[in-house]
């Protein structure tokens, strides 16, 4: 697991002293941590759930949001990801909008991350195939035309290599 270490400067009035307060040391989730957390959350052992909750409570939500979304979406684990009697779990839930993101598809998730300015090229690459699958599913009854898509100009910074992609129907 990797970590992010930031400092927050807080100005204390009226003396105007500047005190540096360390921010939450956040674990950045990767696919390996996602797989481990998923196994822990799917288990019937409550201790596994508590351990997963402790890890999630300390993670860097902004950097790890894609893996949090995948955990929340899959296997109905979102209710096991937090223990709402603790402030840390409530803060985690609120920061990542856990119960909102657990019900949205990849396209809507990508747009929410773009609006929050949390979208990164790495996250887009992880979402791209899922977004194309959603487009394919929506257009699969089209028997008259071949449908091709390209990324919109405002999203080009996330995928410089985007080409005209034909939606293939399964």
Q: What is the mean pLDDT of residues 81-94?
A: 91
Integer Cα distance of 155 and 157 in angstroms: 5
- The pLDDT value recorded for residue 14 is 44
Token pair, residue 113, equals 């991350």
The pLDDT assigned to 146 comes to 80
pTM here is: 0.79
Which residue has tokens 């196994």? 39
- The model's pLDDT over 96-138, given as tens digits with 9 standing for 90+, comes to 999 999 999 999 999 999 999 999 999 999 999 999 999 888 8
Residue pair 106/138 in contact by the 8 Å Cβ criterion? no
Q: Each residue of 33-73: pLDDT tens digit? A: 999 999 999 999 999 999 999 999 999 999 999 999 999 99
Count CB neighbours of 141 within 10 A: 7
- What is the three-state SS of 29-75? CCHHHHHHHHHHHHCCCHHHHHHHHHHHHCECHHHHHHHHHHHHHHH
Residue 88, Cβ density class (10 Å: 0-12 exposed, 13-18 middle, ≥19 buried): middle
């Amino acid at each position: 697991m990797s970590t992010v270490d930031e400092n927050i400067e807080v100005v204390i009035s009226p003396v105007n002293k500047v005190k540096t307060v360390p921010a939450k040391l956040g674990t950045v989730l990767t696919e390996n941590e996602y797989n481990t957390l998923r196994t822990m959350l799917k288990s019937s052992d409550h201790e596994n759930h508590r351990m997963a909750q402790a890890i999630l409570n300390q993670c860097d939500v902004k950097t790890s949001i894609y893996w949090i979304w995948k955990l929340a979406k899959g296997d109905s684990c979102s209710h096991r990801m937090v223990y709402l009697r603790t402030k840390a779990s409530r803060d985690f839930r609120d920061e990542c909008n856990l119960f909102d993101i657990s019900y949205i598809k990849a396209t809507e998730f990508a747009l929410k991350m773009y609006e929050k300015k949390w979208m990164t090229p790495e996250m887009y690459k992880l979402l791209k195939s899922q977004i194309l699958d959603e487009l394919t599913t929506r257009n699969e009854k089209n028997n008259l035309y071949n449908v091709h898509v390209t990324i919109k100009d405002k999203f080009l910074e996330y995928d410089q290599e985007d080409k005209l992609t034909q939606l293939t129907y399964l």
